[in-house]
Amino acid sequence: MTDTPDRAANTMWGGRFDDGPDAIMEAINASIGFDRRLAREDVEGSRAHAAMLAATGIITEEDAGAIREGLLTVLSEIERGAFAFSTALEDIHMNVESRLRELIGPAAGRLHTARSRNDQVASDFRLWVRGRCDAAVDGIAALQRALVAQAEAGADCPMPGFTHLQVAQPVTWGHHMLAYVEMLGRDSGRFADARARMNECPLGAAALAGTSFPIDRQMTAATLGFDRPAANSLDAVSDRDFALEYLAAATICATHLSRLAEELVIWSSAQFRFVTMSDRWSTGSSIMPQKKNPDAAELIRAKIGRILGANVALLTVMKGLPLAYSKDMQEDKEQVFDAADSLDLALAAMAGMVADMTANRAALEAAAATGFSTATDLADWLVRVAGLPFREAHHVTGALVARAEAAGCDLPDLPLADMRAAHPAITEDVYSVLGVANSVASRTSYGGTAPARVREQIARWKEILA
């Protein structure tokens, strides 16, 4: 619920103002419409702050106990939808504190001792973003498991590898799936790195200069699961690097999801038929009854726009701000909230879609043999067996590709006489490397597509993700 009569309009600002704000000023100033999402973090931070105030003798244990219990009541009201939010109270912090005063009386006024909304919001938001880093790591792991399962099922299934979306060399389905597992592994690392860097507690920085009260910032930080208090009070209240790092990691992760989504859109088309998408992740057409559209993949592909946009928007907000806090920074949260929602949804949808899709082995194997995909194997054979310099081998192979193309056949179908016409060093042994299965099996270098190597990587990732 919102917009109830003002419980404490302007009283939180003290005696400086005689008149209330203009209605338009109230509308542009209020953030309760979106920062209510920080309710749990706000209560958690305030309970830790109250406990510290009591432990240091700044407030009594009796007041701290009433505050801590009252805050749990406030949170319960919010979570069950029984809390009346007020735009006149601007934000989640003032809404919570005002309701706390109604519940426990004057003791509520002691909660804000040695604290400002500046360090309060910085702490709340940091706690929230820290949680989204954890959620992203979990979502990525679920998707990685789905991809590893696909890789294991098709570790020896040939498919065309592409460059420029043109057939390049044969690879395996398992190898292709594991490429995304590696990308997502880096994404997970970026979120973990960002989380470690942001795990400093701003509480105690107050408005910008710290406080004269004998607070224990180590206690507050430890209670909230932070590694340490932030070391500079100016930086603590003005820093939004943690949000920017989250958005940067989310942008890269969404880019990877978009690339995979694009491939699934292409692969599920009638022209490719590499994969069959589950009905659970597809939609139909209102006019064309034959259609089965990969809408989930297309929507995931589009999410990068929102997430990248949020990243650019917050960078733009922050780029010219003098120290310390400016109201501009109220524009940080909606961008991050939307990006986090978009990323979490995209990860969950992609994990479900990948788990349910079917790789069409016959279509993949047939496509792997097209486009002269073993031409590089022929060039390598000329170097390795016939002793040609690679550039000469490349030239001879190109001539044989042109000959096969003119004859309307693939390289393995060219007669030996035609092969020898291109270079007399070619022998019948050359055919041993020209089949797709032979080509794939020969790529045994570390990280290569040979089924044995793919299975090694599957085992490694299964252990990592266990």
Question: What are the catalytic residues?
Answer: 164, 285
Calculate the alpha carbon distances from 99 to 106, 305, 340, 379 in Å.
Answer: 12, 39, 29, 77
Calculate the alpha carbon distances from 265 to 150, 207, 255, 277 in Å.
Answer: 17, 51, 15, 9
CA distance 334 to 342: 12
Q: SS3 for 141-187, per residue? A: HHHHHHHHHHHHHCCCCEEEEEECCEEEEEEEHHHHHHHHHHHHHHH
CA distance 229 to 223: 11
- Tell me the Cα Rg of the chain: 31
The residue among 89, 115, 71, 310 whose CA lies nearest residue 205 is 115
8 Å CB contact between 403 and 378: no
Calculate the alpha carbon distances from 144 to 151, 198, 257, 335, 341 in Å.
Answer: 10, 25, 12, 27, 19
As to burial, measured by CB atoms within 10 angstroms (0-12 exposed, 13-18 middle, 19+ buried), residue 24 is exposed
At residue 103, φ and ψ (nearest 5 deg) are -80, -40
CA distance 219 to 216: 5
283: CB partners within 8 A, 6+ apart? 292, 293, 295
Q: At what angle do helices 173-198 and 241-267 cross, to 10 degrees?
A: 170
Give the number of other CB atoms < 10 A from CB of residue 67: 26
Task: Name residue, tokens 């792997």.
Answer: 368
8 Å CB contact between 243 and 87: no
